[in-house]
Amino acid sequence: MSEQPFTDAAGTAAGIDLPIAFRGFQELHGQAYFDYAFTLLGDQELAQELVDEVFLALADRWERVLTDPNPHAFAWAALRRTVEAEQARDEEHRLLIERIVFAVVAYREEAQELIADIDAVTTDLEVGVSVAAAVLELSGAKFDAVVLRYLNRLSVERTALAMGIDERTVRSLTSQAKARLRARLTPRRLLHPGPATPDQE
């Protein structure tokens, strides 16, 4: 979804001599982290700045990161905290809603799994607005998995790698998320009372 690739602006500018293992880790996750931050914040420069900030913080305590049972999940949590802190400064998640609407409209074919069987809305814009509102109601890992899989269009494998979880968990999270979205978006059908039974009379 991003209009520009992730670059290691902070590390390059500072001339930091980082461990090869860290550079590999950064290369592996940099683009996915950038895309996630850009999707939620809607600002390329801000997304780049925050991702650089996260990687510099990770580099500063790289040995601590490596001792964690799951370094990928540790790093993802650091990114998520940083993005959430920035979101808290944005009124009513306005930019997030706009970005999700844009993503659903622009990539409707890829997002089809999220909007299948939803016949309450008729136009792309209405679909986008409805899905945006429903996605915002998701919490934690479900929200992250939906953004990475359907809005950033990452594979199950890449999503799992970025979040530091296994592929089965990604599939479970997206399945649960889709069920919630469909329950939220599918129009409720009115129940019409049938003939009264003897004990109802």
Residue 25 lies in a domain: yes
Host domain of residue 41:
1-89
Residue 115 lies in a domain: yes
38-71 as b/e: b if 16+ CB within 10 A? bbbbbbeebbbbbbbebbeebbeebeebeeeeeb
- At 90, phi and psi to the nearest 5? -100, 130
Residue 29 lies in a domain: yes
Residue 198 lies in a domain: no
Residue 178 lies in a domain: yes
Residue 194 lies in a domain: no
CA angle 114/81/140 to nearest 5° reads: 35
Tell me: do 30 and 53 sit in the same domain: yes
pLDDT higher for 142 or 1? 142
Range from 31-45, 93-107, 140-154 that averages highest in pLDDT: 31-45
Lookup result for tokens 């469909």? 182
CA angle 126/134/192 to nearest 5° reads: 80
pLDDT for 10 equals: 47
Q: CATH number, domain at 137?
A: 1.10.10
Q: Which of 23-27, 44-48, 55-59, 135-139 has the lowest mean pLDDT?
A: 135-139
Residue pair 149/36 in contact (Cβ under 8 Å)? The answer is no
pLDDT for 12 equals: 45
Tell me: do 166 and 134 sit in the same domain: yes
| 189 confidence band (pLDDT: 50, 70, 90) | very low
Residue pair 159/145 in contact (Cβ under 8 Å)? The answer is yes
- CB-based burial label for 99 (10 Å; 0-12, 13-18, 19+): buried
Please indicate, yes or no, whether the overall pTM of this predicted structure exceeds 0.85.
no
Tell me: do 84 and 8 sit in the same domain: yes
